[in-house]
């Protein structure tokens, strides 16, 4: 089915542009950034492959780019920008936000957006945290993002997950007022299934879920007029990517992660091609122009709990 360009819902297509070893939960030879240059490099070939898939479908997407990748392969990032894709920031060193201090996050995001702006000559105003790691304890990161010119954040999964995720978080795009200015939050798509709220439209879910279930997720969101958001990593279209070391059986969480990373890898590409045929996709900026936020909340500081100051979302004062 070819989606109708005028009436079909527009969904965001996002790529977290990183190397095959930028995966969380499994330690290996290339966990430490000082070893990254020694690792087999796949990101350019895999990204070009993904770009061909998007070209075939006439889709432009938002490529959230790891600064280290951009520094190493600036021509790839320039090409993405030249060909009409949106380039966003996925941090410089691909570390989980909730594991960083505000000062470390400040340095990291500053370094990344500065580099991406220099390479692309684009504003670079969209951010996604590695591993969707803006948790309820890491909302302190919003004023820092805003200070660095980030005006759209797509870091939050409004559901409970292994790392990252905020259960009960709004599901529609909304504006968040911070001490440093406003940011539009566009949460990752989730669906209700058997009494649970779960993501369905990207990454591992493309491998684990049958196409019919993914389509049911899109339908749930479209029924209430909400745009969907798909995301993928370049490595996921490459079934021959190098493998992280298989964790031992006595490390069940890491082993489960390993199985999730590599199960059904061959199925990702045909499922992605089917989704690109079935639905209309565009960049995050395009989707937000069509579905601007309809509500505003205020991000407020509350007294410190534990070692860190806490934040909460309050009704907007205006």
Contact between 164 and Zn ion (CB under 5 A)? no
Contact between 158 and Zn ion (CB under 5 A)? no
> How far apart, in Å, are the Cα atoms of 63 and each of 70, 76, 281?
11, 11, 13
Question: What's the closest the beta carbon of residue 164 comes to Zn ion, in angstroms?
Answer: 11
- Residue 180: name the closest of 102, 121, 117 by CA: 102
Size of the site for Zn ion (CB under 5 A): 3
> How far apart, in Å, are the Cα atoms of 216 and each of 83, 95, 209?
32, 33, 11
Chain-centroid distance of CA 88 in Å reads 10
Among 25, 130, 165, 217, binds Zn ion (CB under 5 A): 130
Contact between 236 and Zn ion (CB under 5 A)? no
Question: What's the closest the beta carbon of residue 17 comes to Zn ion, in angstroms?
Answer: 8
Which segment (18-26, 114-122, 190-198, 300-308) binds Zn ion by CB under 5 A?
A: 18-26
d(CA 71, CA 48): 17
Question: What's the closest the beta carbon of residue 109 comes to Zn ion, in angstroms?
Answer: 14
Contact between 67 and Zn ion (CB under 5 A)? no
Between 57 and 96, name the residue whose CB sits nearer to Zn ion: 96
The number of beta carbons lying within 10 Å of the beta carbon of residue 145 is 28
Whose tokens are 């205006």? That residue is 318
Among 10, 11, 16, 197, binds Zn ion (CB under 5 A): 16
Between 10 and 166, name the residue whose CB sits nearer to Zn ion: 166
Contact between 108 and Zn ion (CB under 5 A)? no
The number of beta carbons lying within 10 Å of the beta carbon of residue 166 is 22
The full length of the chain comes to: 318
Which segment (15-23, 49-57, 167-175, 184-192) binds Zn ion by CB under 5 A?
A: 15-23
Between 130 and 187, name the residue whose CB sits nearer to Zn ion: 130
Contact between 203 and Zn ion (CB under 5 A)? no
Contact between 153 and Zn ion (CB under 5 A)? no
Contact between 19 and Zn ion (CB under 5 A)? no
Between 63 and 169, name the residue whose CB sits nearer to Zn ion: 63
Q: How crowded is the C-beta side of 43, counted as CA atoms within 13 Å?
A: 26
DSSP string across 249-316: TT-HHHHHHHHHHHTTHHHHHHHHHHHHHHSEEE-HHHHHHHS----EEEEEEEEEETTEEEEEEEE-
Question: What's the closest the beta carbon of residue 177 comes to Zn ion, in angstroms?
Answer: 27
**Is there a contact between 109 and 277 (Cβ–Cβ < 8 Å)?**
no
Between 208 and 213, name the residue whose CB sits nearer to Zn ion: 208
Between 43 and 159, name the residue whose CB sits nearer to Zn ion: 43
- Residue 128: name the closest of 154, 157, 166, 95 by CA: 154
Return residues touching Zn ion (CB under 5 A).
16, 18, 130
């Amino acid at each position: 089915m070819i989606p109708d360009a005028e009436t079909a819902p527009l969904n965001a297509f996002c790529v977290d542009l990183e190397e095959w070893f930028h995966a969380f939960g499994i330690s290996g030879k290339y966990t430490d950034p000082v070893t990254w240059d020694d690792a087999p490099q796949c990101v350019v070939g895999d990204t070009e492959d993904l770009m061909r898939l998007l070209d075939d479908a006439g889709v432009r997407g938002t490529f959230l780019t790891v600064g280290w990748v951009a520094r190493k392969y600036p021509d790839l990032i320039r090409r993405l920008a030249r060909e009409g894709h949106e380039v966003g920031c996925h941090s410089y060193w691909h570390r989980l936000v909730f594991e960083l201090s505000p000062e470390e996050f400040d340095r990291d995001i500053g370094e990344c957006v500065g580099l991406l702006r220099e390479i692309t000559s684009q504003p670079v105003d969209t951010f996604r945290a590695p591993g969707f790691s803006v948790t309820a304890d890491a909302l302190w990161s919003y004023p820092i993002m805003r200070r660095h010119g980030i005006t759209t954040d797509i870091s939050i999964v409004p559901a409970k997950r292994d790392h990252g995720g905020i259960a009960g978080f709004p599901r529609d795009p909304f504006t968040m007022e911070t001490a440093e200015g406003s940011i539009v939050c566009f949460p990752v798509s989730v669906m209700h299934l058997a009494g649970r709220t779960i993501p369905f439209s990207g990454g591992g879910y493309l491998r684990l879920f049958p196409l019919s279930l993914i389509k049911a997720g899109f339908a749930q969101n479209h029924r209430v007029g909400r745009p969907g958001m798909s995301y993928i990593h370049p490595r996921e279209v490459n079934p021959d990517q190098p493998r992280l070391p298989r964790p031992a059986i006595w490390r069940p969480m890491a082993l489960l992660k390993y199985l999730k990373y590599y199960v059904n890898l061959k199925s990702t590409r045909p499922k992605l091609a089917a989704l690109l045929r079935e639905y209309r996709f565009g960049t995050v900026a395009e989707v937000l122009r069509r579905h601007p936020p309809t509500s505003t909340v205020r991000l407020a500081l509350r007294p410190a709990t534990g070692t860190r100051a806490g934040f909460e979302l309050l009704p907007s004062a205006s």
